[in-house]
Amino acid sequence: MTWSIVARDRKSGRFGIAISTCAFAVGAICPWSRAGVGALSTQAHTNPLHGPLAIDLMSRGLPVTEALAMTLAHDSGREIRQVHGVDAKGNVFAHTGVNCVDWCGHLTGDDVTVAGNMLAGAAVVADTLARYEANAGLEFGDRLLTALEAGEAAGGDKRGKQSAALLIQGNEPYAEADIRVDDHPEPVTELRRLFGIYSTSRRAYMRTMGGIGDFSGIVDDAERDAFVAANLRADEAS
């Protein structure tokens, strides 16, 4: 009972998922990603196992089309499931089971897929995708959130609102951003507020942390402060 957008940013290779529903803590079980591998959302009558199993299969070289087809083949509840995602080569896959609750469906584009079930109507998915494709110039997280807001404006989950999440997977094993609104009367609006805090205070700091190429990251306080300040100025300028 959810709608979500899963995308790959061609310029950076990052993955992103934005999602909202009228259920508690959607960010805890639906979005999955791994750096350099892919991202997906498992929703409707959610089976969280599609997430880690498909990601593991993709890490072994299978495209998302084959990985999710394999996990669905082993799920006797596949017709009440909705899963969709994108891999590191930009392949996309979406499945909406025939017994998902109307309105339900999905759309795909270049490096992006949108899917939803128990929605106010087809415009929720269509407007989410259209807004994403029309805003290629936005920062990736902002682009995803703007698309989710378009789906909300089109009616969103027909039961109401409760939770939302934004997951950005960069090139490190940990998420670049993992922002969750677990229980709120206006979850997408609250997600936008939290994303604003992240953008102006946390995103630059995350770049100082240890990573695959530099285990320690920036450990000197003065150097870290200068780096964060310079990155904030660069982000504002872009």
CB of 163 within 8 A of CB of 21? yes
Please list the alpha-helical segments (H only) found in 86-139.
122-134
pLDDT value, residue 238: 65
Q: What is the pLDDT of residue 74?
A: 96
What CA–CA distance (Å, rounded) separates 68 from 85?
9
Check pLDDT > 80 for residue 43.
Answer: yes
Q: What is the pLDDT of residue 109?
A: 97
Report the predicted TM-score, pTM, of the whole model to 2 decimal places: 0.94
β 15-21/2-8 pair status: antiparallel
What is the per-residue burial (b if ≥16 Cβ within 10 Å, else e) of 199-215? beeebbbbebeebeeee
Percentage above 90 pLDDT, the chain: 84
pLDDT digits (tens, 9 = 90+) for 79-99: 999 999 999 999 999 999 999
| pLDDT the model gives residue 174 | 95
Beta bridge partners of 114: 5, 107
Find all residues with CB under 8 Å of 35, minimum gap 6, and list them: 169, 170, 171, 172, 173
* Predicted confidence (pLDDT) at residue 141 exceeds the cutoff of 90: yes
Taking 90 as the threshold, does the pLDDT of residue 41 lie above it?
A: yes
Q: Could you give the C-alpha distances from 184 to 154, 189, 219, in angstroms and in order?
A: 19, 9, 37
CA distance 89 to 23: 32
Question: What are the beta bridge partners of residue 177?
Answer: 168
Q: Residues 152-162: what's their mean pLDDT?
A: 92
Diameter of the chain by CA atoms? 58
CA dist 41 to 5, 174, 236, Å?
A: 8, 18, 31
The residue type at 46: T
